[in-house]
C-alpha cells in the first residue's frame, strides 16, 4: 500500500485526459479533443471513440463537453447569462429532440448538504410544463416542450436506490430523454464551481466521492441520459499533492525546497498519506462561500436547460409557466 502512487479522483473527462496525457506523454488514440475560447469562457469537447480509449481514460465512450469560466467564483451577471447561452447551445447539439418531446429532469443529491444540493436546487428553477400541455393556448404552447422534474433524494434519506426511483418514473412518464444534474468532484481546485460538464454517457450518483451506486444511463433506463455536473468539492489529498507539485516546480528558485526536486511519485504519495491518515477517511474540501456559489450555479444550469428546451418562451412572461 505504501508504494501505491496517488491518483486524484475526478468526474471530469477533461481532467482524466490531462492526467493520462501526463503519464503517456503523447496523444491517446481514440480520444479526440477540441477547444474553443470565447472571451472569458473556455469550451473543451472530449470525444472518446474506442473501447481502448475508454479503458485508459476510465470514462465511458461518448461525448463530454466542459464549459469553464474562472469568473463564476464572483457574482457576475453578464458572465452568468453568457454561460447559460453556451450550456443551452451545447445541450441542443448533444441531443436531438422533436418539438413534442417529453423530458424528465432529475436533480440528484442530498438537499440537506449544501455541496451536494446542486441537483435539487437546479430542479427548483427549471420550468416544468408537462402538467400544462392540455391547458396552454396555441400561442403559449409554441416552443414549449413537455418537461417534468424530480429531486429523488439519496439512499440514506429514502431507503431506495436513486436508479430504482427514476426507473419507475421513466416507465410511467416515458420521456424521450432524461437530463440528470449532479454535484461532482474535481482533481484540480481551480475547477471547483467554475466548470460545468455535459455528457451523453449517463451518470453514476456519488461516484466522485467514492460511493458506488447504480448508474443512470441508456442501458439502465432505456432512454438517452444527458448528465450535467459541476465540481463542488475537491479531495484534501489532491490539494496536498498540488502543494507538493508547486514546491517541486519552484525548487530551482527556492533553496529551502531544493531537496524536494528529486521526490518520486511514491515519495509524494507517502507524504500525503502521512498528512492525511486513513483515520480521516476521504476528506473533502469546498469553498466557504458554498451557499451563494451553489445557488448561482444552480440558476445558471436551470437557465441553460430552460433556454434549450423552451426556445420560444418570452422570459418577460415566464411567470405564466411557473408553479
Ranges of each domain in the chain: 100-320
Residue 48 CB-half CA count within 13 A: 22
pLDDT of residue 215: 85
pLDDT at 249: 65
The three grid cell numbers given for residue 267, joined into one nine-digit string: 515519495
Q: What is the DSSP string of 238-289?
A: HHHHHHHHHHHHTGGG-GGGGGGGG--HHHHHHHHHHHS-GGG-S-EE--TT
Rounded CA-CA distance 4/268 in Å is 10
The alpha carbon of 67 is separated from its chain's Cα centroid by a whole number of angstroms, namely 10
Cα gap 37→44, rounded to integer Å? 9
Which stretch of DSSP H or E encloses residue 50? none
What pLDDT sits at residue 37?
94
Q: What is the structure's pLDDT at 105?
A: 98
> Which 8-state DSSP code applies to residue 149?
E
Distance between CA 150 and CA 70 in Å, rounded? 30
CATH number of 100-320: 3.40.50.1450
What is the Cα–Cα distance from 190 to 18, expressed in whole angstroms?
Answer: 14
Per-position pLDDT tens, the chain of length 323 = 444 444 667 899 999 998 888 777 677 889 999 999 988 999 999 999 999 999 999 899 999 999 999 999 998 999 999 999 999 999 999 999 998 899 999 999 999 999 999 999 999 999 999 988 777 767 666 678 999 999 999 988 999 989 999 999 999 999 999 999 999 999 888 999 999 999 999 997 555 455 555 789 999 999 999 999 999 998 887 777 777 666 666 655 455 555 565 666 666 666 666 666 565 557 788 999 999 999 999 999 999 999 999 987 766 555 555 54
C-alpha pair distances (Å), 280 with each of 11, 235, 263, 269: 22, 12, 25, 16
Cβ neighbours of 18 (radius 10 Å):
14
Amino acid at each position: 500500500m505504501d508504494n501505491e502512487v496517488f491518483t486524484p479522483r475526478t468526474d471530469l473527462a477533461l481532467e482524466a485526459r490531462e492526467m493520462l496525457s501526463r503519464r503517456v506523454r503523447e496523444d491517446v488514440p481514440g480520444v479526440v479533443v477540441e477547444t474553443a475560447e470565447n472571451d472569458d469562457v473556455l469550451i473543451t469537447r472530449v470525444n472518446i471513440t474506442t473501447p481502448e480509449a475508454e479503458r485508459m481514460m476510465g470514462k465511458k465512450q461518448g461525448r463530454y463537453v466542459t464549459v469553464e469560466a474562472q469568473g463564476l467564483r464572483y457574482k457576475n451577471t453578464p458572465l452568468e447569462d453568457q454561460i447559460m447561452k453556451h450550456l443551452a447551445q451545447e445541450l441542443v447539439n448533444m441531443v436531438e429532440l422533436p418539438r413534442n418531446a417529453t423530458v424528465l429532469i432529475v436533480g440528484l443529491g442530498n438537499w440537506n448538504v449544501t455541496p451536494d444540493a446542486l441537483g435539487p436546487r437546479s430542479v427548483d428553477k427549471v420550468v416544468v410544463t408537462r402538467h400544462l400541455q392540455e391547458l396552454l393556448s396555441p400561442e403559449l404552447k409554441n416552443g414549449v416542450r413537455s418537461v417534468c422534474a424530480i429531486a429523488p433524494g439519496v439512499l440514506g434519506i429514502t431507503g431506495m436506490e436513486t436508479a430504482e426511483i427514476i426507473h419507475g418514473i421513466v416507465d410511467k412518464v416515458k420521456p424521450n430523454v432524461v437530463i440528470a444534474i449532479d454535484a461532482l468532484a474535481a482533481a484540480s481546485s481551480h475547477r471547483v464551481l467554475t466548470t460545468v460538464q455535459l455528457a451523453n454517457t449517463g451518470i453514476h450518483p456519488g461516484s466522485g466521492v467514492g460511493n458506488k451506486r447504480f448508474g443512470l444511463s441508456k442501458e439502465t433506463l432505456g432512454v438517452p441520459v444527458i448528465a450535467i455536473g459541476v465540481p463542488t468539492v475537491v479531495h484534501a489529498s489532491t490539494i496536498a499533492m498540488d502543494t507538493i507539485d508547486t514546491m517541486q516546480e519552484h525548487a530551482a528558485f527556492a533553496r529551502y525546497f531544493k531537496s524536494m526536486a528529486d521526490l518520486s511519485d511514491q515519495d509524494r504519495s507517502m507524504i500525503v498519506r502521512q498528512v492525511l491518515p486513513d483515520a480521516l477517511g476521504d476528506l473533502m474540501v469546498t469553498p466557504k462561500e458554498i451557499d451563494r456559489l451553489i445557488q448561482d450555479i444552480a440558476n445558471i444550469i436551470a437557465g441553460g436547460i430552460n433556454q434549450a428546451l423552451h426556445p420560444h418562451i418570452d422570459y418577460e412572461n415566464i411567470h405564466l409557466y411557473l408553479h
